[in-house]
Amino acid sequence: MSLYCGTACRRKSFWCYRLLSTYVTKTRYLFELKEDDDACKKAQQTGAFYLFHNLAPLLQKSEHQYLLPQYSLVELEKLLGKLGQDTQRIEDSVLIGCSEQHEAWFALDLGLTNSSSMSASLQKPEMEAELRGSFIELRKALFRLNVKDASLLSTAQALLRWHDAHQFCSRSGQPTKKNVAGSKRVCPSNKIIYYPQMAPVVITLVSDGTRCLLARQSSFPKGMYSALAGFCDIGETLEEAVRREVAEEVGLEVERLHYSASQHWPFPNSSLMIACHAAVSPGQTEIQVNLRELEAAAWFSHDEVVMALKRNDPYTKQQNGTFPFWLPPKLAIAHQLIKEWVEKPTCPSLPA
């Protein structure tokens, strides 16, 4: 028995080492591409490119989901030539990841123009006809993509948007220049370096022990409710941000909370969603909705939430003309929070 355990442990350690080695090697390779312009240019020669037009990714429909086409550098150069564009446009691409085999992935937006580019924006219909695909708003397409493609496109769109919005130095007013990978921009006049950033957002599912609190904003699709969410203020800790947001939006005081997970979210301008569960006292549950922040908020029972999670077609009106109560799709971290609560509806006793 001891011999078996020893062999099993060594085997487990071996596979953990292999997994870690693959991850470390890949991470170090991406770091090299971000820091070394020549290495990144070389990676473009054998890399894959994903195309956007005004931040909308190029997708191809396949039954109930979207597929994500990719193009080699040679294919991209031929395409630009057909459309009467200079291949110098490829310099606007940004590095978004790589495969286990170190095939580098890049994103290029052919609809945006930058301060240093001489090329005009390419027309969307002309490109769609040539590429046999459609440029679809990421927010509309996100939940019809697989997890890997959704994550990749979210990263790409966020990075492309950041570069589009940071073409000039906030100190000198002069045009900034990106490195080949797009991991930073530099002002040539004063050498200030700008790095892409995300805004931290707390998203919190509040419970009183038997029910969870869900809310909606007027911008939400009809019938959809979600967890409370808000940006962290400067100087706040995570715990302080959760307590403040719950107090501001629904007038409740958090007794205890615990962290669940995090997720990058590209809308509206790239956020880091920090998901938490929070508990309030069963005797302090009267909601006071802040109508400047929310359209509505309410307590929902365990059974109501379970039914909503099972709902397949939330966009269909009910007989009385209203839309059914439904929840964010599986890809959203709010869905994960709600599902965790359904499976274990009590919040651990951690101080807020």
Q: Which helix (H) or strand (E) holds 214?
A: strand 211-216
Q: What is the mean pLDDT of residues 13-29?
A: 70
Instruction: Tell me which of 240 and 64 has the higher pLDDT.
Output: 240
What pLDDT is recorded for position 142?
84
First to last CA, the chain: 46
Q: What is the mean pLDDT of residues 169-180?
A: 96
State which amino acid sits at residue 204: T
Question: 130-154 burial, b for 16+ CB within 10 Å, e for fewer?
Answer: ebebbbbebeebbebbeeebbbbbb
List, as one string, the DSSP characters of 163-209: HHH-SB-TTT-PBPEE-TTSS-EE-TTT--EE----EEEEEEEEE-S
Q: Residue written as tokens 């090299």?
A: 32
Please say if the pLDDT value at position 55 is more than 50: yes
pLDDT band at 27 (very low <50, low <70, confident <90, very high): very high
Per-residue pLDDT tens digits for 268-286 = 889 999 999 999 988 899 9
pLDDT band at 346 (very low <50, low <70, confident <90, very high): low
Please say if the pLDDT value at position 292 is more than 60: yes
User: What's the CA gap between 249 and 228, in Å, rounded?
Assistant: 8
Q: Which tokens hold the place of 180?
A: 């080949």
Measuring CA to CA, which residue among 48, 44, 53 is closest to residue 130? 53
What pLDDT is recorded for position 350?
45
Q: How many CB atoms lie within 10 A of CB 159?
A: 21
Query: Count of alpha carbons within 13 Å of 38, Cβ hemisphere only?
Result: 0
Range(s) within the chain of domains with CATH label 3.90.79.10? 199-312+322-343
pLDDT band at 319 (very low <50, low <70, confident <90, very high): low
Range(s) within the chain of domains with CATH label 3.90.79.20? 15-194
User: What's the CA gap between 73 and 48, in Å, rounded?
Assistant: 7
Q: Which tokens hold the place of 309?
A: 């999670």
User: What's the CA gap between 342 and 49, in Å, rounded?
Assistant: 41
Instruction: Tell me which of 10 and 175 has the higher pLDDT.
Output: 175
User: DSSP character for 269?
Assistant: T
Lowest mean pLDDT: which of 38-47, 126-135, 171-180, 311-320?
311-320
> What pTM, to 2 d.p., does this model score?
0.84
Please say if the pLDDT value at position 23 is more than 70: yes
What pLDDT is recorded for position 321?
60
**Max intra-chain CA distance, the chain:** 72
Instruction: Tell me which of 238 and 349 has the higher pLDDT.
Output: 238
- Domain spanning 15-194, CATH architecture: Alpha-Beta Complex (3.90)
User: What's the CA gap between 47 and 77, in Å, rounded?
Assistant: 13
What pLDDT is recorded for position 129?
86
User: What's the CA gap between 179 and 196, in Å, rounded?
Assistant: 12
pLDDT band at 20 (very low <50, low <70, confident <90, very high): low
The C-alpha angle 218, 219, 221, rounded to 5 degrees, equals 100
What pLDDT is recorded for position 320?
62
- Please provide the CATH number assigned to the domain covering 199-312+322-343: 3.90.79.10
CA distances from 265 to 93, 124, 183, 273, 278 (A): 21, 26, 18, 7, 21
User: What's the CA gap between 231 and 152, in Å, rounded?
Assistant: 24
Q: Considering the chain, what percentage of its residues have pLDDT values greater than 70?
A: 86
Please say if the pLDDT value at position 316 is more than 80: no
What pLDDT is recorded for position 11?
47
Measuring CA to CA, which residue among 88, 57, 86, 56 is closest to residue 71? 57
What pLDDT is recorded for position 141?
87
What pLDDT is recorded for position 114?
67
Please say if the pLDDT value at position 169 is more than 80: yes
What pLDDT is recorded for position 348?
52
Cite the beta strand spans of 222-331 per DSSP E. 228-231, 256-265, 271-279, 296-301
Q: What is the mean pLDDT of residues 144-154?
A: 92
What pLDDT is recorded for position 203?
98
User: What's the CA gap between 189 and 174, in Å, rounded?
Assistant: 7
Please say if the pLDDT value at position 238 is more than 90: yes
User: DSSP character for 90?
Assistant: G
Q: What is the mean pLDDT of residues 128-154?
A: 90
Average pLDDT of the chain, as a whole number? 88
Please say if the pLDDT value at position 202 is more than 50: yes
Per-residue pLDDT tens digits for 100-111 = 999 999 999 998
User: What's the CA gap between 160 and 4, in Å, rounded?
Assistant: 53
What pLDDT is recorded for position 15?
44
Measuring CA to CA, which residue among 184, 164, 163, 159 is closest to residue 96? 159
Q: Which helix (H) or strand (E) holds 341?
A: helix 333-343
pLDDT band at 64 (very low <50, low <70, confident <90, very high): confident
pLDDT band at 125 (very low <50, low <70, confident <90, very high): confident
What pLDDT is recorded for position 84?
83
SS3 162: helix
- Estimate the share of the chain in helix, then strand, then coil, as percent rounded to the nearest 5: 35, 25, 40
Beta strands 193-194 and 199-207, pairing class: unpaired
